Amino acid sequence: MKPARGALVCGALLLALVAAGSAEQTPYERIVAPGETPTRLADAFTFAEGPTWLRGKLYFSDMWFKNPAGGDWTGSPGRSRIIVMDKDGSHRVLAHGMQSNGTIAAQSGNLIVCDMFGHRVVELDPANGRVVRVLLDRINGRPIDGPNDLVMDAKGGIYVTDPQFTPDEKKSQPGKQVYYIAPDGSARVVIGPGEYAMPNGVEISPDGRTLYVNNTWQQPGGNLVWAYDVAGDGSLSNKRRFAVLELTPEVLGAPNPANRFDSGADGSAIDTDGRYYVATRTGVQIFLPDGTAAGTIRVPHSPVSVTFGGPDNDVLYIVGESSVWSIRTRVHGFRHPSGMN
């Protein structure tokens, strides 16, 4: 039975209208559907940081600081915690005793954690919070200072930022750096001192060719995300500006001009198409693969870090200050190792 000619015309017109509507979507609407807003899952944390989605649960650090809102960053490993949360927001304490920060999944299915005040990167069992092994605690024969955030490449190598954000008056390393832990366990400096005021969030592109580093505040580095070419051995070259971060009116109007670069850029994520998501004072700023701004996800607090998760890896989890939020997207997150949902 053949459809009537009128039905064919109407069907073609409908397809044309759908195509036209799709073409008119903004870059932000291709990522987040109109009307979709973040949902608060839980609160009453001290300073939520470093989220990782691993096998159906969200893991993150709850760092204890005396008064972060007032600028008092006096910490306490004894009061800090690692939290494990179900997708409905119910949660429990997995571990105490580390001023932990960034986390990622290990190839083994364990959790890799930056033990910031402990001057080490460790792998722990996500079932009981026990440390399985130490991945990094020394560079060039000296202790590392304050590992902050990290990301894994396709070979299992790990980039680790160290902004020396620790209470130790005397630092062990010559400055704020980025390390690379090679798949064989050896480690070296790949970004040396003097490049950033505070190297913080770090991410790698889906094709493995580009490493991104967020600078949190002031100079050098400014309110920028930086990009590097990645070589086969993990070394970096061709440093360049990737994206300019939006600043809040309060920062732009700071009495001291030196403070007018304080984006608060911290943890970041990337999707399978190479869009970049970075937690900042203004919200989660999103950039296209060429560095063009695509929009900002606004939440009632200043986000500190983000990660993709959920069964389809299409939910963006946002942590920061006292709360954890989530928002469903139209994209899918990317991060090594895969298959950890």
Per-residue pLDDT reduced to its tens digit, 61-117: 999 999 888 889 999 999 999 999 999 999 999 999 999 999 999 999 999 999 999
Q: Where are the domains of the chain?
A: 28-334
Q: How many other C-beta atoms are found inside a 10 Å radius of the C-beta of residue 13? A: 10
What is the separation, in whole angstroms, between the first and last Cα of the chain?
46
pLDDT mean values, one per 10 residues, the chain (341 residues): 50 48 83 97 96 98 91 93 96 96 98 98 98 98 98 98 96 98 98 97 98 96 98 98 97 94 97 98 98 97 96 97 96 94 89
* pLDDT value, residue 18: 45
Of 100, 80, 93, the C-alpha closest to 150 is: 100
* pLDDT value, residue 71: 85
* pLDDT value, residue 198: 97
> Which residues have a Cβ under 8 Å from the Cβ of 83 and sit 6 or more positions away?
45, 48, 59, 60, 61, 62, 91, 92, 93, 94
In the CATH scheme, what is the homologous superfamily, with its name and number, of domain 28-334? TolB, C-terminal domain (2.120.10.30)
Q: How far apart are CA 48 and CA 10, in angstroms?
A: 53
Q: How far apart are CA 336 and CA 329, in angstroms?
A: 20
* pTM tops 0.85, yes or no: yes
* pLDDT value, residue 70: 85
Q: How far apart are CA 34 and CA 15, in angstroms?
A: 21
